[in-house]
Every structure is written in structure tokens, then in C-alpha cells.
Amino acid sequence: VILLCFRRYLLTALSSCLFWNMFGLSAAMDSKPNILLFLADDLGIGDIGCYGNNSIRTPNVDRLAREGVKLTQHIAAAPLCTPSRAAFLTGRYPIRSGMASSNGYRALQWNAGSGGLPANETTFARLLQQQGYTTGLIGKWHQGVNCESFNDHCHHPLNHGFDYFYGMPFTLLNNCQENKPPELDVALQAKLWLYSQIITLAVLTLTTGKLTGLISMRWKIIACFTLAGGLFFISWYSSYGFVQYWNCILMRNHDVTEQPMRLERTASLMLKEAVLFIKRNRHGPFLLFVSFLHVHTPLFTTAKFLGKSRHGLYGDNVEEMDWMVGKILDLLDKEGLKNHTFTYFASDHGGHLEAQDGSAQLGGWNGIYKGGKGMGGWEGGIRVPGVFRWPGVLPAGTVIEEPTSLMDIYPTVVHLAGGILPQDRVIDGRNLVPLLQGRAEKSEHEFLFHYCGSHLHAVRWHQKDSGAIWKAHYVTPVFHPPGAGACYGKGICPCFGEGVTHHDPPLLFDLSRDPSEAKPLLADTEPLFDTVIRKIGRAIEEHRRTLTPVPEQLSLYNVVWKPWLQPCCGTFPFCWCDKEGDSTQSL
């Protein structure tokens, strides 16, 4: 009798425990969580402690991984910031929105360009806004500002579903810091300067010849040459000579607050704004997208982090970013929001191998993976950190090796918010919740297409029945010098032309056996070679049938500097202001 009573008691207790666990999970899933998205800039997968780095300290990102889920095959949709972020925001390959370039300009070059994320693209911020979320973006945008006038703000974050914006409408560049070598269009600037010198020399020669009687030419013709040369010089120097004023600015919503920005206080301002946004909206639900300016060059780092890492200035900058992550996570704890916040950390693409200053490496480390930023197919340019945390809902300490994409964040957060995905367009991302919770063992992605600009360079096939991850490279960059693993001397590898090699048959790898892409498989030794190539070829044909022509946002016309589109806090061209003053505070 005693044993029977004990058995009944035990079964009742277990049933009650199971009920309350399921009830708690269901209640958590039924409510709308706050959503906090961290996206680093140019961070390599090998730069984070939880991904194997032991020379840079990242305890706060490591804490997220320890308390949540770590993805080991998290893939960016593009190896460069503007197209990758467009895909992240829309859940779609950038070629679908026109944010993939067919020319050499693969990212937006100016705040005063006319290209940008089209108004007819629907971001996850817009869908969450419709579900009652207060939405904010702190940090880097780099999706354009204006279309036809300096204040139409057609591409602005507030026109794409964000209620609040504070940060850079552009991206950090070396040009933003004094005494740094210029980074924007260096080759073109050199050509324009050469042309200016040639024109000047021609005018001086004609003038001297006219005065000495050696050349018979009317003064009007010489005056026309002089005027043309002057206009040419003024036009290019007014743009490239003042990059710091035109591109390195801060905005709060529609207003320019710093022009040019003061880098020594930017990190403090960004952190302050993120903290204030959470405090203002602690009763939720809120979406906060913290889009770091770290760790893009020029790697400006505040004094208390300089010289603290074992990896030079780059490591210092990574550690400062991790500290900022920690401050925001601490605030969630303090406000009692930790268990009700879905948190995500990633990078927009791989580390920039070619970023160097003499012998000093200023770009990230991509671990065992070949290639880096700008390389459309090689893993080092597109495989990035991916970490999720939601205590009580996502199992802690979990590692998932299935292929996933930054585009998956779109349907995932829309699902969590109770929204519905747009039905009038292709959404390439997949809802990750079942995979993250362990209710699904396999990724929903069968194929992932790896573009360099608008040029398809490689395709990944997830053969779910065997576990193989096949990857076919149709185009690869030509490394310089040969065998160097990057395009040193060029700044970034090209997508087409003489700087790439076309492969027929394509280079084939099985990433499940060779994640470093060290040894391509051969038709003579790999029995499935022809079968895999045919399967991937059919997938490419099907994929291309889903593409529709759209205006190219990164066309030469759209990326060129247009003075009438320049955001300005004064009267153009006298654009200068500092509305922040000393508004930073100790955090």
C-alpha cells in the first residue's frame, strides 16, 4: 500500500512538473518578447572567444553563447556591408531588391548618393511596428538616405519601419579620422588628381606658348580650357576633399546632430542611446537593433581600451564592442527583462583581410575558413558568428551545426511578434525557432546561393539524408600575390573581370569533411561529383526563375555624389554642427 501511494504521488508530481514546464514555455512563447539584435561590422568568426579565439577577450558574447544557442554555420547573404544588411533587413537576397551591384561599386559610397533600400521593400522593423512594437535602430545604417532632394529621406530608417534612429546613416571609414590614409575610392581619386595635373599643365603650356608667340591660339580657347579644368578640379575636390564632412555624420531621427562626428565620444553616445531606448520602452514590447560601428576601420577606440588586448588595435576595438554588449545585457538584468528578451548577436560578413597598416593587421580573423570580406564564395567572407539567447525558451549551452542564414532573422522575429510574412514576394529566410528549440533537427535550407555583387560565385547544397554540405564554386577571386589568401594591394577582391577565375567544371567541396575548402574534389575520385553538380545546376536554374528585374540601386548614377542630396545641418556647403556638446555620461 505504501509503495502504491508513493508511486501515485511520484506520478502526480512528475505530471505537475511537466505541466508547469510546458505551461511556462507556452506562456513565454504566447507573449511577445522584446527583441534585441546586435550586429557587428566586419567582425571575423575567429575573433570571438566562444568560436575559439584565445587572444581577444569577449566575455559578454561568450556569456550569450553559454546561456543560449551558438550556430557554427551561420551565413551572410553577401560578403559586403550594404548588400548583406539589405538582406538581413528584408529576408531576401540583395539581388531581389536591387541592392546587388553589377559594377565595381558594391556598397553605397556617399550619404549624398541616390541609391538605397527601396521604399517598396518591407523590413522586419515595419512588420513588428504593425504588431505594436516600438522599434529603434542605434548605430550604422548604410542603406541610403535621399532620392531626389536633401530632405526627402526616402531610404531613411524612419521610412523603413523604425520609430527611432540614432547613428550613422553611412559607415565608418579611415576618412572619418584625421591623419589616416583615405579609404574611399582611392584609385579613382588618384586618377582624378592626375587628370587635374594634366589639365593644369596643358593650360600653363598653352598660356606660355601664346605669350611667347610659339602657339597661335585665341585667348578664348585657353580661357575655355582653364574654365573646364577649374570646374573639373572643383567638382572632384568638393566631394573627395571633404569626405569627413559629407559622410562622417551622426543623425537623430531626421536631424543631423554632428557634422563631422567626433569619434572620441561616438561609442559612449551609441551606448547611451541604446540604454535610454530600453529604459523608455521597458514595458515593451520593443525591437532594438544595435548596429555597431565596431570593428570597421579606422578602429577608433576609447582610451581605456587602448593597449589592453593581445591583438593590437583591432583586438582593443573588439573588446570595447564586447564591453558595450555587456553593458546592455546588464541593463536587461537590472530592469528584469532578461527572461523576456530574445537576444541575437552576429556580424554582417567576414573579417577584412586586406585591412593593414604596414605590418599591423587591422582586419579580423576568419578562423580556419578561407578568404574574407568581399569574397562572394569562400567561407571566410560569409561564415559569421551567430548566437541566440532567450532564457527558459531556448536551451542553454546548445551548439547547432546546420546551415542557417542572416536572412533567417526576418521570418524568425516576425513569427515571435505574431506577424505574417509578406505574401507578394519571395522570402528567402526561414523561421529558426523550431531549430533553436530543438524541435527540428535539420535546417529548412536545402540550397544557399552565394553572390558577389550580382554575380553568382558559389552554391551550397545541404544534402539532408547524408549530412553532406556540398559547395560548388563557379567563380573565385585571383589572390594577389599568388597563394596569399587575399587580394593585397587592391583593398578588396573583385567580383568579375580579370581579377577572377571561372571554373568549368566548378570547384567542388564537401564542407562536412573539408570546412577549410583546402582540397577540391575531383570527378575521377569523387563518385558523386557529376550527380552533385547536376543537382546544383538545376537548383540554380530554378532560383533564377524566381528573380525579377528591378532597378539597380548601386548603379554608377546612384552611387555618385550629388550635392543637392547632401544631408547638411547648416546651409550647404557650410555644413558643420555639434549639437551633442558634452552630452555623454559615464556608463
Task: Give the pLDDT score at 188.
Answer: 63
The angle at the Cα of 210, spanning 209 to 213, to the nearest 5 degrees, equals 80
What is the spatial distance between Cα 415 and Cα 80, in angstroms, rounded to a whole number? 27
Q: How confident is the model at residue 234 (pLDDT cuts 50, 70, 90)?
A: low
Task: Give the pLDDT score at 4.
Answer: 40
Question: Collapsing DSSP states into helix, strand and coil, what is residue 62?
Answer: helix
> Which residue blocks in 479-549 are alpha helix, DSSP H?
529-545
DSSP 539-578: HHHHHHHT------TTSHHHHS--GGG---SSBTTB--EE
Q: How confident is the model at residue 274 (pLDDT cuts 50, 70, 90)?
A: very high
Other Cβ atoms within 10 Å of 220 Cβ, number: 8
Peptide bond into 505 cis (omega under 30): yes
Q: CA dihedral defined by 395, 84, 134, 583, rounded to 10 degrees?
A: 110
Judged by phi (left if over 0) then psi (alpha if -120 to 50, else beta), residue 91 lies in left
What is the spatial distance between Cα 311 and Cα 44, in angstroms, rounded to a whole number? 13
pLDDT tens for each residue of 504-518: 999 999 999 999 999
Query: CB within 8 A of 570, min separation 6: which ones?
Result: 259, 576, 577
For residues 489 and 478, which has the higher predicted lDDT (pLDDT)?
Answer: 478
pLDDT tens for each residue of 304-350: 999 999 999 999 999 999 999 999 999 999 999 999 999 999 999 99
* Across 416-432, average pLDDT: 97
pLDDT at 379 over 80: yes
What is the spatial distance between Cα 154 and Cα 90, in angstroms, rounded to a whole number? 16
| Closest by CA position to 100, among listed 375, 427, 454 | 454
Q: How confident is the model at residue 9 (pLDDT cuts 50, 70, 90)?
A: very low
Query: CB within 8 A of 367, min separation 6: which ones?
Result: 44, 45, 46, 51, 52, 380
Q: How confident is the model at residue 15 (pLDDT cuts 50, 70, 90)?
A: very low
Peptide bond into 520 cis (omega under 30): no
pTM of the model: 0.90
How distant, in Å, are the alpha carbons of 4, 14, 21 from that of 8? 6, 10, 20
CB 118 within 8 A of CB 98: yes
Task: Give the pLDDT score at 583.
Answer: 55
pLDDT at 5 over 70: no
Task: Give the pLDDT score at 365.
Answer: 95
Q: What residues act catalytically?
A: 81, 142
* Across 522-531, average pLDDT: 96
Q: How confident is the model at residue 29 (pLDDT cuts 50, 70, 90)?
A: low
> Which residue blocks in 216-345 are alpha helix, DSSP H?
219-240, 243-247, 266-280, 312-334
What is the spatial distance between Cα 268 and Cα 303, in angstroms, rounded to a whole number? 12
CB 376 within 8 A of CB 472: no
* Across 88-97, average pLDDT: 98
Strands 447-452 and 250-252 turn out to be unpaired
Across the chain, mean pLDDT equals 91
Other Cβ atoms within 10 Å of 551 Cβ, number: 10
pLDDT tens for each residue of 151-207: 999 999 999 999 999 999 999 998 898 877 777 666 666 666 677 778 788 888 888
* Across 361-378, average pLDDT: 96
Task: Give the pLDDT score at 384.
Answer: 98
Task: Give the pLDDT score at 69.
Answer: 98
* Across 458-466, average pLDDT: 95
What is the spatial distance between Cα 374 and Cα 348, in angstroms, rounded to a whole number? 11
Q: How confident is the model at residue 586 (pLDDT cuts 50, 70, 90)?
A: very low
Task: Give the pLDDT score at 195.
Answer: 75
pLDDT at 483 over 50: yes
